[in-house]
Amino acid sequence: MNAMTGGARPFLGVERSILGRPWRARLDAAGEATALALTQAHGIDDLLARILAGRGVGVAEATRYLDPTLRDLMPDPSTLTEMDAAVERLGRAIETGEQIAIFGDYDVDGACSSALLIDYWRAAGAPEPFLHIPDRIFEGYGPNSDAIRALAGRGATLLVTVDCGTVSHEPFKVARELGLDVIVLDHHQAPEDLPPAIIVNPNRQDDLSGQGALCAAGVVFLALAGLTRRLRARGWFGDARPAPDLLAALDLVALATVADVAPLTGLNRAFVVKGLQVMRNRARTGLAALMDAARMDGVPRVYHLGFALGPRINAGGRIGDAGLGARLLTLSDSIEANSIARELDRLNAERQGIEKVALEEAIAQAETQFLKSNRLSCLVVEGPDWHPGVVGLIAARLKERFSLPSFAFAFNRETGSGSGRSLSGVDIGKVVRRAVDLGLAIKGGGHAMAAGVTLERGRVEEFRAFLNDALAEAVEAARDADALVIDAALAGRGVHLDVLRRVEKAGPYGQGNPEPLFALPEQRVADAMVVGENHVRARLRSGDGASVEAIAFRVVGSPVGDALLKGRGELFHVAARLSANQFRGVEKVETRIVDLARVQ
């Protein structure tokens, strides 16, 4: 067992928590030795050393890990299959003043990828690209023939698709017939048989670059780095026309990386570290307006990207004008930017209301499925009048609540659009592609943690049965590994900003770089109350006399929520994460409860 798989002994003796999970130490004996070596070799304090060792960071790479640089981690763009062909064609379009069209997906990654290209084209002195973001309901995911015909009719001769296009055979045949060249910059899982286009996708089967963790915006960024190199070599950029500042574009790459739940390791982690630094300058008019609309206080953090900015950009694609997010990110007019940002904020609030109603129905369906079977490996729910824009959110909520891969479908006609979310270690993108190959689904694709599917109404049960069979082994393995992994124990007096600052040095945290989880031993519940609609705020009294203010999100009606609300005076070990919470200019530590275990 290595330092990242957790020790075998129960942490604090917890074999079964309130949520039925064993607690395990992240570090085994080898991990403890690595943490000690980090402290001795680099003078890193013990807590930070334990966190680093728990994420596989050794003595040799510690310095670079704590200060990741693009210079160390950026690959040569040419290592991606067909990147050189894409760069050559893009460069020729700029040099000749050719009209290009960008077709982007309707989510954050698609919006950021589209904005990256538009900004670059403007800075390079090329004609303004046409932009098309499809309507989720009327056009669905990915390129479609009607949109391509319309873009060609406006004079486009080169089509660039971002965050989509890897499986678009028929639309690209239409593009070829119309005389359009096509470049795909994507990251979704790819079949062996690819459509007629230049396809740059680190997840295509013949790509050996090792960059499969990138989101589409990361792929676009590499393409623009390669394009800059080519145009410099040909004299396009110089004193009279400086090359675009790609480092200033890292705010968009960071936003897309976090919102698309890409692993925050390696190059992605560097993108996010540097992108957050760029974002602090508030130089991008549209993002600054969105930060204000989201009522963001303090410096931007990963949390803000995933839970404040991302959902608002997505809201346009979910229930409003799908192009709002991409347009906002390219604006320099603050008045227009503020107007769009306010509209996205309003749409996000509307989306939350729509989601709440649909989620209640989805939970009821899921509980019925549990009554019918005790060996479920996947949940599949459906609604005849659900908004297609919230099915991904419903799937995510079901996955969180029931710890199972989950799919939600909106059947507003004879076919339904669905979205799935998965557990770590359970690849639903690959299984969805297999369902398409077998003819169970009309179309579909995605990546390990998220996938989209189009299904005939009458095939839901068949699709559900297929998923439960296909995912059973992987889900069982994921459940076996479902121990709550604790990084370290903290006394009540250890919950303060200095500790948080030390912890943050190993961030930013997210998918692939788990946020540290701490155990607070023997905490007595002094008080607990419901706040908001379904959160519980608690005041804990620590054995060292400290008082800890804590919150548990979305737990009303759950075992954790019930234990807190009914457990006044009881003694618990508490598993929690620490984060910064800024209110009216004052920064405090927020203790977010994840699990509880009664003290025996």
* The dihedral formed by the CA atoms of 575, 577, 581 and 586, expressed in degrees to the nearest 10: 80
Percent of the chain with pLDDT over 70: 99
Determine the Cα angle at 334 with ends 333 and 339, to 5°.
105
**If you average pLDDT over residues 409-416, what whole number do you get?**
88
**Which of these, 230, 267, 261, lies nearest to 74 by C-alpha position?**
267
Tens of pLDDT, residues 42-60: 999 999 999 999 999 999 9
The class level of CATH for 11-26+483-598 reads mainly beta
Tens of pLDDT, residues 478-487: 877 778 999 9
d(CA 523, CA 582): 25
Using a 10 angstrom Cβ sphere, with 0-12 exposed, 13-18 middle and 19 or more buried, the burial of residue 9 is exposed
Strands 415-421 and 406-410: antiparallel
**If you average pLDDT over residues 322-339, what whole number do you get?**
97
pLDDT band at 1; cut points 50, 70, 90: very low
Residues 6+ apart with CB under 8 A from 224: 116, 117, 120, 244, 246, 249
Using a 10 angstrom Cβ sphere, with 0-12 exposed, 13-18 middle and 19 or more buried, the burial of residue 182 is buried
Tens of pLDDT, residues 571-599: 999 999 999 887 777 788 999 999 999 99
Tens of pLDDT, residues 450-486: 999 999 999 999 999 999 999 999 998 887 777 899 9
Q: How many helices (H) and strands (E) does the chain have?
A: 22, 18
What tokens appear for 484 in the block?
């709550």
Q: How far apart are the first and last CA of the chain?
A: 29
String of DSSP letters for 474-518: HHHHHHHT-PEEE-EE--GGG-SHHHHHHHHTT---BTTBPPP-E
**Which of these, 332, 228, 1, 260, lies nearest to 111 by C-alpha position?**
260
**If you average pLDDT over residues 402-412, what whole number do you get?**
92
Q: Is the pLDDT of residue 2 over 70?
A: no
Tell me, what's the pLDDT at 63?
93
The total number of residues shown for the chain amounts to: 600
d(CA 489, CA 499): 12
**Which of these, 83, 76, 100, lies nearest to 198 by C-alpha position?**
83
Asked if residue 424 lies in contact with residue 400, where contact means CB atoms within 8 angstroms, the answer is no
String of DSSP letters for 535-593: EEEEEEEETTS-EEEEEETT-TTSHHHHHHHH-TT-EEEEEEEEEEEEETTEEEEEEEE
* The dihedral formed by the CA atoms of 253, 254, 258 and 261, expressed in degrees to the nearest 10: 40
Tens of pLDDT, residues 357-384: 999 999 999 999 998 887 899 999 999 8
Domain map (residue ranges) of the chain: 11-26+483-598, 73-281, 373-480
H-helix or E-strand spanning residue 42: helix 29-42
Range 373-480 has CATH code 1.20.1250.20 = no
Q: HSE (CB half, 13 Å, CA atoms) of 206?
A: 8
Q: Which CATH number fits domain 73-281: 3.90.1640.30, 3.30.70.20, 3.40.50.1820, 1.20.1090.10?
A: 3.90.1640.30
**If you average pLDDT over residues 412-420, what whole number do you get?**
89
Q: At what angle do helices 428-437 and 460-470 cross, to 10 degrees?
A: 130
Q: Is the dihedral of CA 490, 591, 504, 220 positive or negative?
A: positive
d(CA 488, CA 48): 10
Distances (CA, A) of 345 to 35, 107, 454: 44, 15, 29
**If you average pLDDT over residues 243-260, what whole number do you get?**
97
Tell me, what's the pLDDT at 447?
84
How high is the mean pLDDT of the chain?
93
Tell me, what's the pLDDT at 8?
59
d(CA 304, CA 291): 9
**Which of these, 49, 325, 41, 33, lies nearest to 163 by C-alpha position?**
325
Tell me, what's the pLDDT at 58?
95
Tell me, what's the pLDDT at 126?
97
SS3 readout for 179-248:
CCEEEEECCCCCCCCCCCCEEECCCCCCCCCCCCCCCHHHHHHHHHHHHHHHHHHCCCCCCCCCCCCCHH
Single-letter amino acid, residue 444: G
508 preceded by a cis bond (ω within 30 of 0): yes
Tell me, what's the pLDDT at 565?
97
Q: Is the pLDDT of residue 7 over 70?
A: no
d(CA 507, CA 515): 8
Single-letter amino acid, residue 441: A
**If you average pLDDT over residues 497-522, what whole number do you get?**
93
